């Protein structure tokens, strides 16, 4: 018995992932952890906030990388500054508010430049409070919306 089948297969990209692809992959993976951790009552919110801040950084960098800002996102004054990354993404056309929301500002304060979510050391070397965190569930929902927007934008 002989037969033939005509099918149109989707295009497959076999190339090495780019740095921009890497940012998307990390943001997606971390977002899954944020969504789970944000609902748990028995963990310190700092755990979730640390991961959320890095997911936000990667999502914004993914967009900016795809907009050609490859050098700018690595500059020391920008690379971990979530407010600077948010502002750059807005200026480059990402459909977000011009002013970063409170949850982004709080994550930015803990994420850098003193890295309060990671360390307890303040600007002058003294031990400080770890900082505040945003409300976990609403932050996770907003972060997911932002990631989905970035993901759609960089794919188009």
Domain ranges of the chain: 19-155
CB atoms within 10 A of CB 109: 18
Of the CATH numbers 1.20.120, 3.10.450, 1.10.10, 2.40.128, which one belongs to the domain with range 19-155?
Answer: 1.20.120
Give me the torsion for CA of 86, 91, 96, 100, rounded to 10°. 40
Cα(80)–Cα(83) distance, rounded to whole angstroms?
A: 9
pLDDT at 130: 59
Q: What is the pLDDT of residues 66-102, one digit of tens each?
A: 999 999 999 988 989 999 999 999 999 999 999 999 9
Phi and psi, residue 76, nearest 5°? -55, -35
With a cut of 70, list the residues of the chain below it in pLDDT.
Answer: 1, 3-5, 9-13, 122-123, 128-130
pLDDT at 19: 93
pLDDT at 86: 98
pLDDT at 112: 81
pLDDT at 9: 66
Alpha helices in 78-119 (DSSP H): 82-91, 102-111
pTM across the whole model: 0.87
Q: Are 143 and 16 in contact (CB under 8 A)?
A: no
Q: Are 136 and 38 in contact (CB under 8 A)?
A: yes
């Amino acid at each position: 018995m002989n037969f033939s089948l005509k099918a149109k297969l989707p295009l497959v990209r076999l190339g090495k992932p780019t740095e921009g692809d890497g940012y998307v992959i990390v943001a997606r993976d971390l977002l899954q952890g944020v969504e789970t951790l944000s609902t748990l009552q028995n963990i310190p919110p700092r755990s979730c906030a640390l991961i959320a801040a890095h997911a936000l950084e990667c999502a914004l960098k993914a967009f900016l990388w795809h907009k050609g800002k490859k050098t700018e996102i690595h500059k020391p004054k920008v690379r971990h500054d979530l407010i600077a990354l948010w502002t750059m993404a807005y200026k480059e056309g990402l459909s977000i508010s011009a002013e970063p929301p409170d949850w982004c500002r709080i994550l930015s304060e803990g994420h850098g430049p003193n890295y309060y979510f990671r360390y307890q050391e303040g600007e002058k070397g003294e031990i400080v409070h770890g900082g505040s965190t945003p409300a976990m569930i609403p932050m996770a929902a907003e972060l997911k919306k932002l990631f989905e927007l970035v993901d759609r934008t960089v794919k188009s």
